[in-house]
Amino acid sequence: MKIVRSPHELKTILKEHQGEIGFVPTMGALHRGHLSLIERARKENALCVVSIFVNPTQFLEGEDLDKYPKKFEADEKICSIAGVDILFYPQAEDMYEEDEIKICSPNVRGYVLEGHVRPGHFDGVLTVVMKLFNIVTPTRAYFGKKDAQQFLLIMQMVKNFFMDVEVIALETMRESDGLAMSSRNVYLNDAERLEALKIGKSLKCATNLVIQKVFEAERIDKEMREVLSPLEVEYISIVSRSFVPQEKVEIGNSIILVAARLGATRLIDNIWI
Ligand code: PAF
């Protein structure tokens, strides 16, 4: 596995490569969720590139940029064992200049839900993903369904800017007790970790209601809140696969999302119906 820090060096290496490139952009602190993306990227492409970059522009003032888990040595081993060909590991100064031109700003769907709680977050995500796509020129890029809103906005950016990359979302990986895997789970203490299970349980409750043909968003929201109580719920939302709020779940076209706070930690999760 080759580790490359410079965007220009990576561009030069990749220019010489002929076959398809599978790309998994990450912020490191890799877990099984990332591994499933890497596995798929390897399977479907001749070359697998993973990036590890804790992108400062997607963190708001006062968020966890400084304490975001950084585990490069462990991540490097994981990537090497997983068969990654190139690990791209730039630093902020390699990716950004002062006073940059800004072109990546989401539409209204980037300012609801996560974008409402974290205004400007998706500007940072889209900007860095566009930079990464321009550097790596992937044939296919792989993301987790857990960040559903991020995925939708990236798909929209790719379409709107006529970018030549197929973006693919893979299932959320869960711990055996149902907690969605996230690099931020390490922030939870034991009591919070236990409480956090209510998030997955609330989504299970929503799924069971849908199985019983209960489709009304209001009823699903109410029952989910009962399961989540007494957690601090930031939002529960039922949206279409293009992120338009729905009053009724539509099988094959709905995502039920939840965000909750456990102490200082925010967790998000969702289920695609
Ligand atoms: O999902 C993430 O890990 C990040 O938002 C991403 C896509 C790597 C951009 O920094």
pLDDT at 103: 81
- Is the pLDDT at 105 greater than 90, yes or no? no
Interatomic CA distance for residues 112 and 135, integer angstroms = 29
Does residue 162 sit in the same domain as residue 190?
A: no
- Model confidence band, residue 108 (pLDDT cutoffs 50, 70, 90): confident
User: What is the average pLDDT across 71-97?
Assistant: 98
Domain span including residue 121: 2-170
Determine what percent of the chain is predicted with pLDDT higher than 70: 100
Does 230 sit behind a cis peptide bond, omega within 30 degrees of 0 on the bond before it?
A: yes
Q: Is residue 175 part of a domain?
A: no
- Model confidence band, residue 150 (pLDDT cutoffs 50, 70, 90): very high
pLDDT at 202: 98
Does residue 207 sit in the same domain as residue 131?
A: no
User: What is the average pLDDT across 142-166?
Assistant: 97
- Is the pLDDT at 82 greater than 90, yes or no? yes
Q: HSE of 237 in the Cβ direction (CA atoms, 13 Å)? A: 18
Cα-flanking dihedrals φ and ψ of residue 137, to 5°?
45, 60
Does residue 59 sit in the same domain as residue 89?
A: yes
Which atom from ligand 1 is nearest to the alpha carbon of 183?
3
- Is the pLDDT at 225 greater than 90, yes or no? yes
Average pLDDT, the chain: 96
**CATH number of the domain bearing residue 107:** 3.40.50.620
Does residue 194 sit in the same domain as residue 104?
A: no
Catalytically annotated residue among 8, 17, 34, 121: 34
DSSP E strands in the chain: the ranges are 2-4, 21-26, 47-52, 86-88, 140-144, 166-170, 232-240, 254-262, 265-272
Read off the pTM: 0.96
- Looking at 140, 170, 200, which one is the last position of a domain? 170
Long-range contacts of 242-248 (CB under 8 A, 24+ apart): 242/109, 242/152, 243/109, 243/112, 243/149, 243/152, 245/217, 246/217, 247/216, 247/217, 247/218, 248/215, 248/216, 248/217
Please list the residues that pair with 270 across neighbouring strands.
Answer: 257
First to last CA, the chain: 38
pLDDT at 172: 97
- By 3-state DSSP, what share of the chain in percent is helix, strand and coil, each rounded to 5? 40, 20, 35
The answer to whether residues 89 and 4 touch, using CB atoms and an 8 Å cutoff, is yes
Does residue 189 sit in the same domain as residue 161?
A: no
Task: Give 151 Cα–ligand 1 centroid separation in angstroms.
Answer: 10
Interatomic CA distance for residues 240 and 205, integer angstroms = 19
Please choose from 91, 114, 125 the residue to mutate so as to test ligand 1's pocket, defined by most ligand atoms within 8 A of CB: 125
Give the range among 21-30, 34-43, 98-107, 143-152 with minimum mean pLDDT.
98-107
Residues whose beta carbon lies within 6 Å of some atom of ligand 1: 25-27, 55, 58, 125, 128-129, 147, 150
**Helix H or strand E encompassing 34:** helix 32-44
Interatomic CA distance for residues 263 and 246, integer angstroms = 30
| pLDDT tens digits for range 109-144 | 899 999 999 999 999 999 999 999 999 999 999 999
Please choose from 27, 38, 95, 122 the residue to mutate so as to test ligand 1's pocket, defined by most ligand atoms within 8 A of CB: 27
Q: Whose CA is nearest to atom 6 of ligand 1?
A: 26
pLDDT at 104: 83
Q: Higher pLDDT residue, 248 or 242?
A: 248
Tell me the two tokens of residue 139.
């044939």
Catalytic site residue 34? yes
